[in-house]
Amino acid sequence: MMKEAKRIPVLEVFGPTVQGEGMVIGRKTMFVRTAGCDYSCSWCDSAFTWDGSAKADIRMLTAYEIIEQLKELGGNAFEHVTISGGNPALLPQLGELIDSLHNEEISVALETQGSRWQNWFWSVDELTLSPKPPSSGMLTNWSVLDDIVAKLIAGKSSFCLKTVIFDQADLEYATFVHLRYPNVPFYLQAGNGQLKETEPERMLPYLVERYEWLIGQVMPNPELKRVHVLPQLHTWVWGNKKGV
């Protein structure tokens, strides 16, 4: 009897496009977005992955089927795939997809909030842990995050921490995160509070203002010294449009 391939709940496969944020900002990449999340952040830009609104669109795909779709869309023009969610760390079966991509000489970036560990974290080429600040309405489980960070450091993984910032309380949270894990590359990202806006022309001045505000907050702060401050570049170009 053949071993049945473990299926992955997928909501979007798109690209090639540029990664719009974080440690691989600008990188040419394909995206795979998985369904399901253990969080429900107030400002989540992909709430359809967990709020039930796109339940009918979830496709249960094997790693092989996902790679076929990536090739159909990206042809021979990519060698990098970003897995996002939802929270992909809910899916132990992702290890097979990551290994299969590596077998095709494709690198893999992945983002998760750092609420669950998976052994395949060690295989991800660029792993982003994005603990959620107070404005999200979520609570961080520090002992879980401590454990994940310790395992990644022990495994010499290439990873970073990233926190989205909307306000002063978020900045204080980010400072706490950075001081708790001072040797992990740290990214502060200006939050997008205009998720309903459909006109990029109207969004752009708002997003630039938020980014400039965040720069102004971080630059004089001696506790936030070894950091990156970035916007979500894709929203500057495409607003809230999906699939780009």
Q: Considering beta carbons, is residue 5 or 208 the nearer one to a second copy?
A: 208
State how far the Cα of 234 lies from the Cα of 239, in Å rounded to an integer: 7
118-157 residues in contact with a second copy (CB under 8 A) are: none
In the complex, the smallest distance separating the C-beta of residue 1 from a second copy, rounded to whole angstroms, is 39
Using rule CB under 8 A, residue 224 touches a second copy: yes
Indicate if the alpha-carbon torsion angle 135, 33, 30, 148 is positive or negative. Answer: positive
**Can you tell me which of 111, 174, 230, 232 binds a second copy, judged by CB under 8 A?**
230
Q: Which of 91, 72, 73 is nearest to 83 (CA)?
A: 91
User: Do 46 and 84 touch, CB atoms closer than 8 A?
Assistant: yes
Contact between 131 and 140 under an 8 Å Cβ cutoff? The reply is yes
* SS3 at position 24: helix
Please state, in angstroms and as integers, the Cα–Cα distance from residue 42 to each residue in 47, 65, 144, 192, 215, following that order.
Answer: 9, 33, 22, 11, 23
Of 13-21, 35-43, 131-139, 143-151, the window that binds a second copy (rule: CB under 8 A) is 13-21
Query: Site for a second copy (CB under 8 A): which residue of 55, 102, 202, 225?
Result: 225
Q: Does residue 103 belong to the site contacting a second copy (CB under 8 A)?
A: no
Cα 199 from Cα 188, distance rounded (Å): 25
- Binding-site member from 68, 208, 241, 243 for a second copy (CB under 8 A): 208
Q: Which of 39, 134, 215, 240 binds a second copy (CB under 8 A)?
A: 215
How far is Cα 69 from Cα 73, in angstroms, rounded to an integer? 6
Interaction of residue 14 with a second copy, rule CB under 8 A: no
Dihedral sign (CA 30, 114, 21, 24): negative
Please report whether residue 78 would count as binding a second copy according to CB under 8 A: yes
Q: Report whether 46 belongs to an annotated binding site.
A: yes
| Residue 54 CB neighbours (<10 A) | 15
- Helix/strand/coil for 40: coil
Select from 83-91, 119-127, 172-180, 220-228 the region that touches a second copy (CB under 8 A): 220-228
Among 55-63, 90-98, 136-144, 197-205, the segment contacting a second copy (CB under 8 A) = 197-205
**DSSP 8-class letter at 98:** H
Residue 204 in contact with a second copy, rule: CB under 8 A? yes
Closest approach of a second copy to the CB of residue 178, in Å: 11
Give strand pairing partners of 188: 163, 229
Annotated binding site for Mg(2+): 46
Annotated binding site: 18-20, 33, 37, 41, 43-46, 84, 86, 130-132
Annotated binding site for [4Fe-4S] cluster: 37, 41, 44
Binding site for a second copy (CB under 8 A): 15-18, 24-28, 75-80, 187, 201, 204-205, 208, 211-212, 215, 218-222, 224-231, 233, 236-237
